């Protein structure tokens, strides 16, 4: 797991350093005002035991929760930081470490991320069976469900009605591919051409500033002789951060690392949905109880097949109004990616939404090459404004600069 976490942090960060002693950091807001910025660096102290992070403000020293991993450091620059401002931090030895509030717990065939007693999301690595009487082809592992809003509302569903049993909370199979000369669909498992399955849990992250996991999954093709062959090795890295705004909002990052498993590579053919970030929303979100808004001002009526930096989904749930903001990283393939959004008359108005990098164009994954897709999700109680959504995307797309001083 450490190798994958290190690789992930290297891709996220804008700085590096090789110091082996207590260090200071200056974080520069740059041209954007910042609010609760996620800071990630690849600074690695020689000794990672008993270290604490302190923020220095006008001579005042305030402890800051921090994750100290072999791959780097992670913390949240809390509160509001004006554009052009700088904030200063110091990493130093300490005799007493605060308790880790962010936990990744393995139980009952799943990894559950939580902050204290509050559950954030669940990654299911054991195979989950569909409702009784359903074809076992729908057996599935390697997906996120439930995803909880801060108010406890479940925002996802799995094994919906008989027409779409293959929809699995948050999942991302590729639909229309060319693998070793044969068209292969890993999304519509009822075709019995392929599927995605969990392979190995690479590790979990616990700490004061974040919790998460890294998991290896395989996109496997079903061959004519009854065997399977892995077409894509994929690593999911999921990392959740502490709640903000009085506990009413929370962000978590989802990264998919793709490596072709065959010497011939694989072509992800252009198609209207597949891959990227797929969501089957709670059945409480229908055309009459929920609203969709994109960065381009599109709604559920006209968002399908349009590009968007972010998409916001808000609706009524048994626990109260809640929603999620899904943000598309500008470095993703063909970003800003296009959306697949179900029309309002699908299955009683329920919602399936997919950020698909291949909605507009095909994508050839070369053998022995690694490809990255990143998304950030904010879950929230109530609603957020379009201005707040845009500010959150700018924060994700253009993180602050970090200067290391020794």
CB of 326 closer than 8 Å to CB of 258: no
Which pair of tokens denotes residue 109? 């065939």
pLDDT confidence bin for 3, thresholds 50/70/90: very low
What is the 3-state composition of the chain as percent helix, strand, coil, each rounded to the nearest 5? 10, 50, 45
Say yes or no: 176 and 300 in one domain. yes
For residue 51, the model assigns a pLDDT of: 82
Say yes or no: 126 and 69 in one domain. no
Which pair of tokens denotes residue 201? 């849990």
CA dihedral 331, 393, 34, 257 (to 10 degrees): -40
What CATH number is attached to the domain comprising 34? 2.60.40
Q: What is the pLDDT of residues 238-269, one digit of tens each?
A: 999 999 999 999 999 999 999 999 999 999 99
Say yes or no: 12 and 81 in one domain. yes
Query: Is pLDDT of 18 > 60?
Result: no
Q: What is the pLDDT of residues 259-310, one digit of tens each?
A: 999 999 999 999 999 999 999 999 999 999 999 999 999 999 999 999 999 9
What CATH number is attached to the domain comprising 186? 2.70.98
Say yes or no: 222 and 322 in one domain. yes
pLDDT confidence bin for 311, thresholds 50/70/90: very high
Residue 21: Cβ within 10 Å count: 11
The pLDDT > 70 percentage for the chain reads 92
Query: Is pLDDT of 374 > 90?
Result: yes
Which one-letter DSSP state was computed for residue 271?
-
Say yes or no: 256 and 392 in one domain. yes
The number of distinct structural domains making up the chain is 2
Query: Is pLDDT of 20 > 70?
Result: no
Average pLDDT over residues 136-145: 97
Show the beta-strand stretches assigned E in 125-248: 143-147, 170-171, 177-179, 182-184, 194-205, 211-222, 228-240
263 contacts: CB under 8 Å, gap ≥ 6: 367
Q: What is the pLDDT of residues 152-206, one digit of tens each?
A: 999 999 999 878 999 999 999 999 999 999 999 999 999 999 999 999 999 999 9
The C-alpha angle 67, 217, 157, rounded to 5 degrees, equals: 85
**178-204: b or e for each residue (b if 16 or more CB lie within 10 Å)?**
bbeeeebbbbbbeeebbbbbbbeebbb
Classify residue 338 as exposed, middle or buried by CB count within 10 Å of its CB (0-12, 13-18, 19+).
Answer: buried
Say yes or no: 86 and 7 in one domain. yes
Query: Is pLDDT of 2 > 80?
Result: no
Say yes or no: 277 and 316 in one domain. yes
Say yes or no: 229 and 108 in one domain. yes
Tell me the chain's radius of gyration from C-alpha atoms: 21
Say yes or no: 130 and 78 in one domain. no
Say yes or no: 256 and 390 in one domain. yes
Structural domain boundaries enclosing 115: 102-397
Closest listed residue to residue 68, CA positions, set 95, 35, 36, 92:
92
Which pair of tokens denotes residue 253? 């990052």
pTM of the model: 0.94
Say yes or no: 196 and 71 in one domain. no
Q: How far apart, in Å, do the first and last CA atoms of the chain sit?
A: 29
Say yes or no: 125 and 260 in one domain. yes
């Amino acid at each position: 797991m450490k190798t994958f976490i290190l690789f992930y942090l290297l891709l996220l960060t804008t700085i590096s350093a090789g110091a082996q002693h207590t260090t200071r950091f200056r974080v520069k807001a740059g041209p954007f005002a910042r609010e609760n910025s996620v800071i990630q660096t690849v600074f690695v102290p020689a000794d990672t035991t008993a270290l604490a992070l302190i923020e220095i403000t006008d001579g005042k020293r305030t402890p800051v929760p921090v994750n100290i991993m072999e791959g780097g450091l992670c913390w949240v620059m809390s509160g509001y930081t004006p554009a052009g401002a700088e904030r200063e931090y110091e990493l130093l030895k300490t005799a007493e470490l605060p308790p880790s509030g962010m936990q990744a717990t393995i139980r009952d065939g799943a990894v559950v991320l939580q902050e204290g007693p509050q559950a954030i999301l669940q990654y299911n690595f054991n195979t989950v069976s569909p409702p009784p009487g359903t074809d076992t082809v729908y057996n599935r592992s390697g997906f996120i469900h439930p995803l909880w809003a801060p108010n406890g509302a479940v925002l996802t569903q799995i094994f919906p009605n008989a027409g779409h049993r293959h929809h699995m909370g948050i999942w991302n199979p590729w639909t229309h591919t060319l693998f070793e000369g044969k068209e292969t669909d890993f999304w519509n498992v009822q075709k019995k051409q392929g599927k995605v399955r969990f392979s190995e849990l690479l590790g979990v992250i616990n700490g004061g500033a974040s919790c998460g996991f890294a998991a290896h999954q395989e996109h496997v093709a079903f061959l004519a002789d009854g065997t399977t062959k892995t077409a894509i090795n994929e690593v999911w890295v999921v990392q959740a951060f502490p709640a903000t705004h009085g506990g009413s909002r929370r962000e978590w990052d989802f990264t998919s690392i793709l490596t072709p498993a065959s010497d011939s590579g694989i072509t992800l053919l252009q198609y209207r949905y597949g891959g990227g970030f797929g969501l089957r929303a709670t059945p409480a979100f229908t055309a009459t109880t929920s609203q969709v808004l994109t960065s381009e001002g599109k709604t559920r009526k006209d968002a399908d097949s349009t590009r968007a930096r972010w998409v916001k989904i808000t609706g009524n749930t048994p626990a109260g109004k809640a929603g999620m903001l899904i943000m598309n990283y500008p470095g993703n393939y063909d970003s800003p990616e296009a959306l697949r959004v179900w029309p309002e008359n699908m299955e009683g108005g329920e919602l399936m939404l997919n950020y698909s990098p291949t909605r507009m164009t095909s994508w050839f994954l070369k053998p022995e090459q690694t490809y990255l897709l990143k998304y950030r999700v904010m879950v929230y109680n109530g609603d957020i404004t379009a201005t707040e959504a845009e500010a959150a995307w700018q924060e994700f797309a253009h993180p602050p600069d970090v200067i290391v001083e020794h």
